[in-house]
């Protein structure tokens, strides 16, 4: 399914406020409610809208430390890559994992409650995977911008 500018308007409006009613969404994108709901259901059925979530303050939740972990595998066999990715998918501490170009193979975004909790993550989650060649860690000490709203197109 290809999407048009009206579909993108619907997506952006929901990214800004996922709790809006269909009536409010229709008004925001200049559609009547029935066509708006039909477009929304089409976006959901096509897997373009994969779900709805809530943006929570990690510090208030009890996970104030955001860590970016660059991982390089010691070998790049199909089995090693599959093993690493399977372990990471199962790890609740990892919010995001990206396959990278450059020196690191993966970039992980991890949230923990403190430095001992990060040590636990490394020792009990990463080290046992066994195919990791190196781990490079950066701690975020502030946030300049955080959004999940895609930029407008053309």
pLDDT reported for residue 31: 96
Question: In CATH terms, are 5-45 and 58-140 the same topology?
Answer: no
Per domain, the residue ranges of the chain are 5-45, 58-140
User: In the predicted model, what is the mean pLDDT of the chain?
Assistant: 95
The stretch 51-76 carries a mean pLDDT of 95
Architecture in CATH for domain 58-140:
2-Layer Sandwich (3.30)
pLDDT in tens, 97-127: 999 999 999 999 999 999 999 999 999 999 9
Contacts of 91 (CB under 8 A, 6+ apart): 125
* Gap between the Cα atoms of 17 and 10, Å rounded: 11
| Edge-to-edge strand ranges of the sheet holding 65-73 | 94-99, 106-112, 65-73, 132-140
Fold adopted by 5-45: Arc Repressor Mutant, subunit A (1.10.10)
């Amino acid at each position: 399914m290809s999407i048009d500018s009206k579909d993108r308007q619907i997506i952006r409006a929901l990214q800004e406020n996922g709790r809006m009613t269909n009536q409010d969404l229709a008004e925001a994108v200049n559609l009547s409610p029935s066509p708006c709901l039909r477009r929304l259901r089409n976006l959901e059925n096509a897997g373009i809208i994969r779900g709805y979530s809530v943006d929570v303050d990690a510090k208030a939740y009890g996970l104030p430390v955001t860590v970016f972990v660059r991982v390089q595998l010691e070998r790049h066999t199909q089995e090693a890559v599959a093993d690493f990715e399977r372990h990471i998918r199962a790890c609740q501490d990892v919010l995001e994992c990206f396959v990278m170009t450059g020196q690191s193979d993966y970039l992980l975004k991890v949230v923990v409650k403190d430095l001992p909790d990060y040590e636990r993550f490394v020792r009990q989650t990463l080290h046992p995977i066994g195919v990791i060649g190196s781990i490079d860690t950066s701690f975020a000490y502030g946030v300049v911008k955080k959004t999940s709203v895609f930029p407008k197109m053309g």
